[in-house]
Structure 1
Amino acid sequence: MGIRFILMVNKQGQTRLAQYYEWLTLEQRRALEGEIVRKCLARNDQQCSFVEHRNYKIVYRRYASLFFMVGVDDDECELDIMFHLEKAHFMLEEMVMNGCIVETSKANILSPIQLMDKAH
C-alpha cells in the first residue's frame, strides 16, 4: 500500500498534524504516535533517519522545530525515498515556508513535480 500515515510533531513531542491512510481507532493512533515520537525524538543527529517500529518503517526529518514523520509499510523500500529525496524536499518546500504551512492542496504541491518529470 505504501504510505500509512504522516505526522508533524513539535520538539516537545506534541502532534500538530496527523494524516492516516489506514483505519486505526483513536486509542490506537494515540498509542502509536506516542511510541513513534518517543523513539524518534530520543535519537541524535548522527543516527540515520529511518526507524523500524511494529510493522512500519518510519522515515523522519527535523525542519526547524517540527519533525515530519512518514510511516510506510515494512516491505516498502526506503531506497525509493532516498533515490527521490530531492522530490521529497521539494514537496515539503511547497507545503511549508518559514515554519508555516502555506499549501495543503495535493494537486498544487505535485503539479510542479509532474511538470519537471515531463521535461525529462
Structure 2
Amino acid sequence: MAIQYLILLSRQGKVRLAKWFTTLSPKDKAKIVKDVSQLVLARRTRMCNFLEYKDTKIVYRRYASLFFIAGCSSEDNELITLEIIHRYVEQMDKYYGNVCELDIIFSFTKAYYILDEILLAGELQETSKKNVLRCIGQQDSLEDMEIFDGGKPPSFVSRDEACGRWCCDSYDEQRREIVSGPRPGIGQTSTQHWEESEP
C-alpha cells in the first residue's frame, strides 16, 4: 500500500498542498497535477471517488472547498487510501480547531508536519491520533524554544532579573509570566501558555 502523491486542490483548481512520494521531474509533476485536476473537477458530486489515470488509481474526497486527491498504484486498496485521506483531515481538524482552506494556505508547514507524521514514503506510518498530536506539539515547543534561544526576543518580552523567567508587560502594567512546557489540548497552535501572575 503506497501512495505516490497527495494533492490538495481548491474548487478553482489551485494547488494548496502537494506531497510527492515518488521521484518525478517537475514537468511530469505539472502534467499530473493538470490532468488529475481536470479529471476530478469535472466530476459531479454523486460520482464514484475512484478513477483510473494511466497506470495509477486516483482516490479523492471533497471536504468543503478542497479536494484531497491521492494517487496510488493499481493494486492498492482504494478504501484504505480513502480512510488515510479522512484520517489526515481529522488530524488537521483537531490541530487547527476547525480547519479551513485559509489555515492550510497561511500555515502550510503544519499541514506538511501532520502529513509527515501520518505517512512515511507513501506508507501509513502512524494510526494513533494522540501520537500525531503529541509529536506536532513537540515540534511546536521546539519552534517556540528557537524563537527565544536562537534569536532576539520581541521588544515586549523581557527577562525578570529576580526570578530569571521571561515576562511580558501588559497594557495595565501588570506582569504576565510565560509558563514554558507543553500544554495538553486539542486545537492549540502553540504549546506555550500565558498565565496571570501575582503582581
TM-score band, normalised by shorter chain? 0.7 to 0.9
Aligned sequence identity (%): 31
Aligned to 2:59: 59
SS in 1 for 2:9: strand
Task: State TM-score, norm by structure 2.
Answer: 0.50
Query: Which protein is richer in strand relative to its size?
Result: 1
Aligned equivalents of 1:112 and 1:80: distance in 2?
16
Residue identity in the other structure for 2:117: A
Q: Runs of 5+ in structure 1 lacking a partner? A: 115-120
Q: Which has the higher contact order (CA 8 A, sep 6+)?
A: 1
Deviations 1:72-117 (A, max 9, x none): 01111224346xx3x6423312124331246533438743277xxx
Contact 2:91–2:129 (8 Å) recurs in 1? no
Residue identity in the other structure for 1:93: E
Task: State TM-score, norm by structure 1.
Answer: 0.79
Q: Following superposition, which runs of at least 4 residues in structure 1 exceed 3 angstroms of deviation? A: 79-82, 105-111
CA 1:79–1:16: 2 relative to 1, 3 Å: closer
Aligned equivalents of 1:49 and 1:107: distance in 2?
25
SS in 1 for 2:128: helix
Aligned equivalents of 2:30 and 2:44: distance in 1?
24
Matches within 5 A, 1:73-112: 73-81=73-81, 85=83, 88-96=85-93, 97-99=98-100, 100-101=103-104, 103=111, 104-105=113-114, 106-107=116-117, 110-112=127-129
Task: Report the CA distance between 1:54 and its aligned residue.
Answer: 0.7
Aligned equivalents of 1:79 and 1:110: distance in 2?
15
Contact 2:3–2:70 (8 Å) recurs in 1? yes
Q: Which has the larger radius of gyration?
A: 2
